[in-house]
Each structure stands twice: as C-alpha cells, then as structure tokens.
Amino acid sequence: MACSDITQGIGRQCTNTLGGVQKIYIFNNLEDPFTISADGSEATAMNILLTQSFEFDVTGVGNILEQNVVSSRDTFTSVNTQTITALLGGMSATKHATLNFLVQSRAMAVIKDRNSNYHAVGIGQDLNEGIDFNNVATTGGAQSDFNGYTLTGTSIVKDLAPILDSATVTAFLATVQANV
C-alpha cells in the first residue's frame, strides 16, 4: 500500500469560529452507525438501526472535544486519541443511575461544537470500538465550588472524527429522545 500524499493546503483562517462543545449526544454501541467517506472526513449516511440517542446538554466552559493524532515511523502506525470532557452540574439519583450505566457501556457519541459541526466520536472506518467513559462526582468544598459530574470519554481510532453532512445531521437528530 502506498503512503498517502496531501492534495491541498489550508489558506488563511478568519477569526469567525468559537471554541467549545454545545451538546453531546450519546447512543449505544452499533457496528457502522454511519457511512464514512473514503477519505474518512465526513459521515454521509446513518445506519437505519440507529434509532435512539440521548442528549447531554452542557453549558459554560470546560466542555471539550480534543483529538490527538500521533503517527510513528518506528511502529508504522497512526492513531487518534479522542477525549470528550463534559461538566454536568448538580447531582441527583437519576443522574447517578444514568452515569453508572454509561461508564459500564461502550457507547458512541456525536458532539455538536459551537460552530454547529457534528463530530462522530468513537467511530472510524476500521474501528467501531466505542468510548470508554470515566466519571468523577464532586460536591465541591466551598459553597461556590462546582457541584456535579466531570464525565471524561476516551476513544482510540485511526482518523479525526468524521463530521456529519447536513442530511445525516437531520436523520440523526430525529433519533434524539426527550430528556426527563
């Protein structure tokens, strides 16, 4: 197999983007939940077996999707470690139960950033491993400290998370269940 060659550059970037995550949608592990373009950059269709997803509404700073692609000439590999960080304020028995199930699952996610891009996380052309979630629940110490959950999800795939095209976003959002 031949090595990949780049086919275009990236021009000057404007200052018209925003950082951060707006919403996190989590769904149960499913083989090939999206059809991924040949170059791995875009999700162009959704698997009809994907019928339920759950919205985790996040606000404020500290909600992040980070993707760290590392290539090694020594091992002839390239991997992307995707990390989701979500701050979920306030504790309750219902949230405890939901997060207990989540950390025991191999769920997958779609992350909506503040630029209205929808990133499919835990999904790759060759790997559909899902996401390993960890959860830290904290009451805080001072009365003004954070009270809630810091949810961290990690997935290792080959390429950057594909971005859903507009038709796939519409189909995906139709799977979102109402929050209780």
How many Å separate Cα 19 from the centre of its chain? 15
Q: φ and ψ at 167, to 5 degrees?
A: -65, -40
Biggest CA–CA distance in the chain, Å, is 59
Torsion of CA 147, 103, 169, 126, to 10 degrees: 140
Which residues face 19 on adjacent strands? none
Quote the pLDDT of residue 20. Answer: 83
DSSP per-residue string spanning 113-155: ETTS-EEEES--SS-----EEEEEEE--SSTTS--EEEEEEEE
In angstroms, the CA 172 to CA 65 distance is 19
Domain boundaries, the chain: 21-161
Q: pTM value?
A: 0.89
HEC states along 1-69? CCCCCCCCCCCCCCCCCCCCEEEEEEECCCCCCEEECCCCCEEEEECCCCCCEEEEECCCCCCEEEEEE
- Mean pLDDT split into 10-residue runs, the chain, 180 residues: 70 76 94 91 96 93 94 86 94 94 95 96 76 94 91 93 97 90
Vertex 24, ends 98 and 56: CA angle to 5°? 40
* Model pLDDT, residue 17: 75
> Computed from CA positions of residues 85, 34, 25, 60, in that sequence, does the dihedral angle turn out positive or negative?
positive
Q: How far apart are CA 35 and CA 168, in angstroms?
A: 9
